[in-house]
Each structure stands twice: as structure tokens, then as C-alpha cells.
Amino acid sequence: MTGALIILAAMVLTGIVLYIYHRISGGEDSSQVEMPAVVSDECCGQHAVCEKDTLLITDDTVVYFDDEELDRFAERSPDSYTRQEEEEIRDVMMSIAPDEIAAWARSLTLRKIQLSAALRDELLLLVSETRQQS
């Protein structure tokens, strides 16, 4: 029993030390959630044909899709959007051509525009549907 308590104390102490180190070293903010990369099994991501469908950022060039008005959402918390602002982003997302939706998602990431959880789920669904149709 004493051995188990010693092991538990050591694990708690290690956790505290790692937490403090993470905070001091300026670790990645947990509220900054990156969009997950959705890569199909058929694409290796190294060809021009399938690079347009990946959400991985391979180029730092920002491409606009007549959506410059969304730049005002840059570096804003996705939880701070009003319903009207979410609807505005949704309207832009639905106006993007299906074959350009992955590129639009990369553009948002490069422009530091974070989507709310609901919008992010809708975006990933659109990307998934587009890949299934291809």
C-alpha cells in the first residue's frame, strides 16, 4: 500500500512539474485548436492532383476567395462569434465551389481565422463529401 502511495505521489509531482514547464516555456495554447488534417487513403499528398484536396498547409501563400470581409475575424476566439457573424461565415462557406473548399479552409488557417465548433464540423463534412464525389 505504501509503495502505491509513493508511486501516486511521484506521478502527481511529475504532472505538476510538466505543467509548470509547459506554462513557462510558452507552450501551445490549448484554446488554439488546429483543424485536423483529413487525408484519404488514396492520396499520398505529394502530387499536384491530390494536394488541392488536402487540408494540410504546404504553401504559405494566402489565397482569397472574395472573402476579404472575413479578415476581421482573425485571431478572434471562435466562442465570441454572434449568431449573425456565424451565419455570415456560413454564407461565405456555402458560396465556395465544392472543389475549392479545402483550399478555402487552408486560407482561413493561414489568415488565423478560427471557426466555431459547429462551422468547423460543417466544413469538414463538406470536405468529406467533396472527396467522396471525386
C-alpha cell recorded at residue 104: 478555402
Of 38, 125, 49, 113, nearest in space to 80 by CA: 113
pLDDT at 49: 45
State the pLDDT at residue 92: 94
What's the rounded Cα separation, in Å, for the pair 40 and 58?
A: 16
- Indicate the DSSP class of residue 73: G
What pLDDT is attached to residue 32?
45
pTM over 0.85: no
C-alpha grid cell, residue 2: 505504501
Residue-level pLDDT at 59 = 65
Return the pLDDT at 83. 94
Question: pLDDT at position 65, please?
Answer: 86
Torsions phi, psi of 3, nearest 5? -60, -40
Q: In the prediction, which pLDDT does 23 show?
A: 78
Residue 116 DSSP symbol = P
Q: Closest Cα partner for 103 from 39, 55, 41?
A: 55
- Written as tens digits, the pLDDT of the chain (134 aa) is 887 778 877 787 787 877 787 778 765 544 444 544 544 445 554 444 454 555 555 567 888 888 999 999 999 999 999 999 999 999 999 999 988 988 898 889 999 999 999 999 999 999 888 888 86
